[in-house]
Structure 1
């Protein structure tokens, strides 16, 4: 078994074990772009996810490089592919709604891994299966089982790319506290009501256009 399978294995193991733990085991610092087409349609989300130091170190074990400690995109390509393939089962932790209707994403494209200062960062573009044009859009990023914690970067956490003029974006972190009334209690989690426990840690993005 190669270390290139490590992220898929840990994700699969973690999702299976999440029912017994109400805390994350992997931490991701994220930035995202909501991408629009020339006609003003929402086309998809471009993500950049930086893994925590410990996970990055573990994931890199066994990967051969030409220069010790220096990992190129080519070196990391097999691991990047494993990442995006394993994320499919979990809907890429990205959920979109237009007028209250769930939107379906296609396979990630333009994906690659970078390594800097001991941190692995996964970059990928997640296209909608069918671009949609609407004055309102809602996107959430989270792990329903809370095995993975998503914290968006302090600076420029979310951007709009190519959005029509006049579009306004609102970004809400789970620490903002506005969703407390909808959150499940720890007792419910321990009693097995955990199918969407991580929703209370969702990062929420809302866009309204003229």
Structure 2
């Protein structure tokens, strides 16, 4: 099974995997924010590579059950990297519980990973800052063009703002692999973070 951290070629330039992300911020009926629900669409090259060796009942069609072992492998891999999801509520860093409701689907010749990250403790939000990025820039995250971020059951007073990063691929490809293995560049990808802010007065 191929995980995000396993398809690196030492001679290749960063990034190695491209993801188009769409996310939902989930609120409970009492107004507390409870978690983040992601849907990540992988590029066709990674999708093709990851699907190698998976046995299916019908060629070219992958069921959720057939993709379940690959989904599990990827979730275990992502845990090491904090699921590339970083949240601060009222300027305090927040921790997530174990992911739930995760699965892979094969759609339009691409793999889509769905999963929910519950907050360890639900919060009443005044200001939420959410960032989606890979610090090592192994994975390039962009937000889907249409409705990339949604608020689900949020109080009517909540507003959302999205800041898309500039494309760092061209710059990164001029750097060699050693640049990213150097501790000084361990957070290179932060320059290209997708930043979401939610205000609930």
Fold shared, TM-score > 0.5 on shorter chain: yes
1:143 aligns with 2:137: no
Task: Report the number of matched residues.
Answer: 191
1:207 aligns with 2:201: no
Q: CA deviation at 1:134?
A: 2.1
**Match of residue 172 from structure 1:** 163
Q: TM-score with structure 2 length normalisation?
A: 0.89
1:38 aligns with 2:32: no
In 2, the alpha carbon distance for the partners of 1:107 and 1:163 equals: 23
Flag the structure with higher helix content: 1
Runs of 4+ in 1 over 6 A off after TM superposition: none
Equivalent residue runs for 1:64-79 within 5 Å: 64-79=55-70
Q: CA deviation at 1:82?
A: 0.8
**Match of residue 23 from structure 1:** 14
Q: CA deviation at 1:100?
A: 1.3
In 1, the alpha carbon distance for the partners of 2:37 and 2:15 equals: 24
Equivalent residue runs for 1:97-116 within 5 Å: 97-116=88-107
* Cα displacement string for residues 16-70 of structure 1 (whole angstroms, at most 9, x for unaligned residues): 96xx976311000110001111111111100000000000000000000000111
Partners of 1:142 and 1:202 within 8 A in 2: yes
Unaligned runs of 5+ in 1: 177-185
Q: CA deviation at 1:175?
A: 2.2
In 1, the alpha carbon distance for the partners of 2:155 and 2:108 equals: 37
Partners of 1:48 and 1:121 within 8 A in 2: yes
**Match of residue 181 from structure 1:** none
SS in 1 for 2:186: coil
Q: TM-score with structure 1 length normalisation?
A: 0.85
Unaligned runs of 5+ in 2: 168-174
